[in-house]
Amino acid sequence: MPVARILFTLPLPEPFDYAVPEGMEIAEGSYVAAPVGKYDRLGIVVEILPDAAGEGRALKEVAEVYPVPPMTAAMRDFLSFSARYTVSHPGQLLSMALRARGGLLPSPTETVYEATGAMPARMTEAREKVLEAAGQSDALTAAELAQAAGVSSGVVKGLAEAGALRALEMLSDPPFPKPDPDLPGADLTAEQEEAAEALRAAARAGGFQPFLIDGVTGSGKTEVYFEAIAETLKADPEAQVLVLLPEIALTQAILSRFEARFGAPPAPWHSGLSDKERRRTWRETAHGRARIVIGARSALFLPFRKLKLVIVDEEHDGSFKQEEGVTYHARDMAVMRAKLEDAAVILASATPSLETIVNAESGRYVRLKLSARPGAARLPDVELVDLRADPPPKGMWLSSRLVNEMRATFEAGEQTLLFLNRRGYAPLVICKACGERLKSPGTENWLTEHRYTGRLVCHVTGFSMPKPKTCPHCGAADSLMGVGPGVERVAEEVRVLMPEARIEIFSSDTAQGGEATRGIVERMEAGEIDVLIGTQIVAKGHNFPKLTLVGVVDADSGMKGGDLRAGERTYQLLSQVAGRAGRAERPGRALVQTYAPENPAMLALADGDRDGFLQIERDVRAELGLPPFGRLAAVILSGPTAELVDETARTIAELAPNGEGVELYGPAPAPITVLRGRHRRRFLVKTARNVDLPAYMAAWVAKLKLPSAVRLSVDIDPYSFL
């Protein structure tokens, strides 16, 4: 019997050998189940060894092969690469690729009902409602039909018995409709056409080729990469395309754009999907039938059959970095995946990351520039408002300059967007009597006041409680006071200043789920909102034609903290936000309130001098040997007591291998010192560009024996320094 070497979706260091029973069809990459301990576990075959490999060994047998095409060699290579790069077990990466187990089996079927046209002998009000509902939509299950009609499902069954409804067996998760690459795209401007043609040529030629579409906000980057998708689908009838997007909120609007362009919605993949939707996308991708998949970062781990193009839209976005569990940066991994798949990859952004800019300038990426908005739309004028010279009244947050512009905008029948990246009412609650700052229990994190829900919330741990009547520290009554601005508080201020204006808040608290988000976006598009006050959720993806004024309430808020990318991130976020203004024929303005107008990020914003700003950032990073000119890794240790973590940290510091060009900083308390009751310490490892940092980290971790209560996580290329 041949021997199958199986990698399981378990954090085990290596694969195990199993005998392949007579007659079982198995190949490298097959998805299988085989016994590990008492249970059958899921895994893939990484190698098939000849019969001789099993001789004299009491091997257990493979239990089952799933009816899915085997995982491709490129995908398996990608998982091995990712495991090595992230200092994780290959099995952990494999479980990320197998997040929808239902997809391993063929789609189940379900019974649906459609109207036959015959009327039942006895008609009741409930029966009428069901027949009406059945006439209005595609075939529905008994439960769906009953729900649509607001009756019990017994009524549906009764109608089927009476011959008025017909039962049909249908696939629960049918294949996605095929996209049509031959539908016409937009009439491209000369500049867009040039970029599109470079991409089409790459699609025709095939092979690995990275591109950067470096285009100002609203310049038509999406229209241009649509051309690349169309050409890829035309060039190969089996080609698949993956589009990664940073936010689900964005997905709604973009899904409709895909549908308009290709005549069919793409297959979606993100954390908001139901199990059924998830297994459907997984299965259709694995069988090669889903031609366009659009998803969040984890879509990178879907088992494509023939991936020919990967697009990372808003490539600079921080949400491409996975921070928990296996930490990875989806943009960097996307380039690697494309390389292993021999596919093209397109990164798109108005404010590319320094990493990507450096790659473009060195010629590793082909840079396609889009410098103008098509048609009448113009980029907004950006003006800094120096809050030292024009301070808002005490307890208020809007300067007179901004308020005057907002009033003028309102009178002109146009819309204002106020941007403040702080949810809730106030980011800090203190007691006027004793000075206590309210924190999340067992941590150093401040609680944010939310007036909308009447609760105090920790945005780090998720802890929340009703706002107490008395101070939990000194017991003083009515002494708790919110300090600093959040979107709810700014909304309150605008309501007083502009009582006639229609005001709404747009943050993850007010817009949970697609429905609520769509509602706000639609009202904004329809001009039913005069002032929208939002967090970073508003920064991207929306085109609001009547939005002509953007006000940044606190441009300095992202600059605090010791994050090496604070300036870059602030610049990116604020230019995205400012870029919301002036999308149509009306010119837009952005007023940026700051206490530090001389900061290079602010100056660059006002002058529209992105490249000048990047040059300064680049010089600083090069000088300090920080990414992309050097490499960084973080190690976070956490444990139940400060003493235990400190002691462990000291021990492991001593075990750090010596390496040329390697500098070790720490242990130091992590910026979030206590999280969910666990004390945290952090090391930072900085190395020269040419050091194999994952190998160094793996060598270090291999030497460690940690107390069982202590957890260690390694983050290669850390982005947040929490």
The residues of the shown chain that bind ligand ADP, judged by CB under 6 A, are 186-189, 192, 215, 217-223, 374, 543
Q: How far is the CB of 459 from ligand ADP (least distance, A)?
A: 29
Q: How far is the CB of 147 from ligand ADP (least distance, A)?
A: 36
Inter-axis angle of helices 400-411 and 487-497, to 10 degrees?
60
Q: How far apart are the C-alpha atoms of 148 and 131, rounded to whole Å?
A: 11
Residue 689 tokens read as 């560009």
Q: How far is the CB of 546 from ligand ADP (least distance, A)?
A: 14
- Cα dihedral 579, 580, 586, 592 sign: negative
At 542 the three-state DSSP class reads: coil
Q: How far is the CB of 332 from ligand ADP (least distance, A)?
A: 22
Q: How far is the CB of 263 from ligand ADP (least distance, A)?
A: 16
Look at residues 15, 178, 8 and name the one whose alpha carbon lies nearest to residue 93: 8
Q: How far apart are the C-alpha atoms of 519 and 541, rounded to whole Å?
A: 15
Q: How far apart are the C-alpha atoms of 640 and 356, rounded to whole Å?
A: 40
Q: Which residue is at the shortest CB distance from ligand ADP?
A: 220
Phi, psi values for residue 123, rounded to 5°:
-110, 135
Q: How far apart are the C-alpha atoms of 539 and 532, rounded to whole Å?
A: 12
Closer residue to ligand ADP in complex, CB, 254/675: 254
Closer residue to ligand ADP in complex, CB, 224/438: 224
Instruction: State the chain's maximal CA–CA distance in angstroms.
Output: 88
Q: How far is the CB of 413 from ligand ADP (least distance, A)?
A: 21
Closer residue to ligand ADP in complex, CB, 123/260: 260
Q: How far apart are the C-alpha atoms of 415 and 397, rounded to whole Å?
A: 19
Closer residue to ligand ADP in complex, CB, 543/615: 543
Q: How far apart are the C-alpha atoms of 11 and 292, rounded to whole Å?
A: 31
Closer residue to ligand ADP in complex, CB, 315/717: 315
Q: How far is the CB of 228 from ligand ADP (least distance, A)?
A: 13
Q: How far is the CB of 610 from ligand ADP (least distance, A)?
A: 14
Calculate ∠ Cα 152-156-159, nearest 5°.
135
Closer residue to ligand ADP in complex, CB, 374/666: 374
Q: How far is the CB of 383 from ligand ADP (least distance, A)?
A: 22
Q: How far apart are the C-alpha atoms of 329 and 310, rounded to whole Å?
A: 15
Ranges assigned E (strand) in 530-661: 531-534, 547-552, 589-594, 630-639
Closer residue to ligand ADP in complex, CB, 47/525: 525
At 561 the three-state DSSP class reads: coil
Closer residue to ligand ADP in complex, CB, 215/534: 215
Task: Tell me how far CA of residue 673 lies from CA of 102, 296, 401, 720, in angstroms.
Answer: 40, 29, 40, 14
Q: How far is the CB of 412 from ligand ADP (least distance, A)?
A: 22
Closer residue to ligand ADP in complex, CB, 189/599: 189
Phi, psi values for residue 312, rounded to 5°:
-115, 100
Closer residue to ligand ADP in complex, CB, 374/671: 374
Span between the terminal Cα atoms of the chain, in Å? 52
